Amino acid sequence: MLRIRMKTWTGRCPRHPRYRPVDGLGAIKGGCRYCWKLLKIHQAYETLLDEIVSFDDAIWEASENPAMRLYRPAPPRGRATA
Ligand SMILES: [Zn+2]
């Protein structure tokens, strides 16, 4: 079993407090190392979420196999329950 606890965390560049990592690499001014770190954290977070969704999808698909009926996870996001 893997259990991940998530907490709300806010990071802000001391030089560019309006920088938003969702704006990407092109929005970083002057190669700022703090903005760069925020971007890396954002990308790592997005990758983590993608991997979790991918895992949930794989489990969901496997659970449709009668051999896997003992384990019925919650449906992945955006998918209606049947
Ligand atoms: Zn910055």
Nearest to 40 by CA among 18, 24, 54, 27: 24
Q: What is the count of structural domains for the chain? A: 1
pLDDT, position 24:
94
Q: How far is CA 46 from the centre of its chain?
A: 3
Neighbours of 39 (CB within 10 A): 20
Residue 73: the pLDDT is 60
Q: What separation in Å is there between the alpha carbon of 33 and the centre of ligand 1?
A: 6
Instruction: Answer yes or no: is 17 within a domain.
Output: no
- What is the pLDDT, as a whole number, of residue 62? 80
Separation of 44 CA from ligand 1 center, angstroms? 18
6 assigned to some structural domain: no
* Predicted pLDDT at 21: 97
Q: If you measure from the C-alpha of residue 2 to the centroid of ligand 1, how many angstroms do you get, rounded to a whole number?
A: 34
5 Cα to the center of ligand 1, angstroms: 28
Q: Which residues contact 59 (CB under 8 A, 6 or more apart)?
A: 71, 73
Parent domain of 46: 30-68
Determine the average pLDDT of the residues in 1-17.
94
Task: Tell whether 10 is covered by a domain.
Answer: no
69 has a pLDDT exceeding 70: no
Is 51 among the domain residues? Answer: yes
**pTM for the model:** 0.72
- Domain-embedded: residue 78: no
Average confidence score pLDDT of the chain = 87
